Amino acid sequence: MICALYKEVIFPVVHTNSYRKSEVYIRGATHSVVDPAHIYQEMKFFIVDLSNKNFSSPIEKAAFAHAQLVKIHPFYDGNGRTSRLIMNLSLLNDDYPMLNIKKEMRSEYFFALNQYGENKDLNPFIKFMETAMFHQIDEFLNKYRLQ
């Protein structure tokens, strides 16, 4: 499903049926991504974890889906967009609203993702998502509040 979303939504013109075959680096990140020789295996583990882990909340599950997919970095390009799409599909599947990560949140977003990449610590990214979700809901309610 992840490859299908990548091909149809992210890069519909470039029809690739495989994961990347060479090293890539995430600009601004201090951690490295999965070696190309291990991507297939890591993606299998990722799907099993996503299906079988007991997550404390839908936000934790969506945060894990996003952060782990970025850490694996299975494609040459579009990994961030693909992982945000998977994150939002996970949230919608659990009856949560989609999360819009605004430009002014980028530094916090990248910092929290980097914490997961470096230390496997998902808590900063969960906290980032919770805070962003609360702000987004508050903005919505303030905009459409009956007067």
- 21 within a domain of the structure (yes/no): no
Residue 73 annotated as catalytic: yes
Task: Point out the catalytic residue in the list 15, 31, 66, 73.
Answer: 73
User: Does residue 54 register a pLDDT over 80?
Assistant: yes
* Domain CATH number, residue 91: 1.10.3290.10
Q: How many structural domains does the chain have?
A: 1
- 20 within a domain of the structure (yes/no): no
* Residue indicated by tokens 């530094």: 107
Enumerate the known binding-site residues for ATP.
77-84
Condensed to tens digits (0 to 9), the pLDDT of residues 12-27 reads 656 566 788 888 877 7
Reported pTM: 0.87
Condensed to tens digits (0 to 9), the pLDDT of residues 93-143 reads 999 999 999 999 999 999 999 999 999 999 999 999 999 999 999 998 998
- 17 within a domain of the structure (yes/no): no
Domain that residue 128 falls in: 2-8+35-144
Spell out the long-range contacts of 19-24 with Cβ–Cβ below 8 A and sequence spacing 24 or more: 19/43, 19/74, 19/75, 20/73, 20/74, 20/75, 20/76, 24/73, 24/76
User: Does residue 30 register a pLDDT over 60?
Assistant: yes
- 89 within a domain of the structure (yes/no): yes
